[in-house]
Amino acid sequence: MNTRQPKTQENRWSVYLLSCADGTLYCGVTTDVARRIAMHNGYIPGGAKYTRGRRPVTLAACAEGMSRGEALSLETRIKKLPKKDKLLALQHAAGHGAGSAGSVCERKT
């Protein structure tokens, strides 16, 4: 049974996991994943200080369709996990059985 809600103003947030050029991972939240990746890669102003020296970054995983609070909570849980578990946890939250995430974001570089 699919109990997930359609995207609305309340559940338009996404949690994303980036793979950095140095092999590290970066996790964040946004309402526009493509824009954030462009920011992290320096194509448009902004992006985290962490990713500036680790470019290029690519999208490793993403879960969308959450409220801001749900996205921030998931981001916090993922950041506390060891590196080897982060990707699996976000994929799981993105529709593989648990969490309130709505769907998996498209992979974009």
Looking at CATH, the fold of the domain delimited by 13-104 is given as: GIY-YIG endonuclease (3.40.1440)
Of the pLDDT bands very low, low, confident and very high (cuts 50, 70, 90), residue 93 is confident
Q: Where are the domains positioned within the chain? A: 13-104
What are residue 21's phi and psi, to 5 degrees? -60, -25
Eight-class DSSP state of 92: H
Question: Using CA atoms, how far apart are residues 34 and 96, in angstroms rounded to an integer?
Answer: 23
Residue carrying structure tokens 């559940």: 11
Whether the CB-CB separation of 27 and 75 falls below 8 Å is answered with yes
The whole-number pLDDT of residue 28 equals: 97
Pairwise pLDDT comparison (71 vs 100), residue with the higher score:
71
Please say if the pLDDT value at position 20 is more than 60. yes
CA dist 39 → 21, 44, 46, 73, 88 (Å): 15, 5, 5, 23, 25
Whether the CB-CB separation of 87 and 17 falls below 8 Å is answered with yes
Per-residue pLDDT of 59-82, as tens digits, reads 999 999 999 999 999 999 999 999
pTM: 0.81
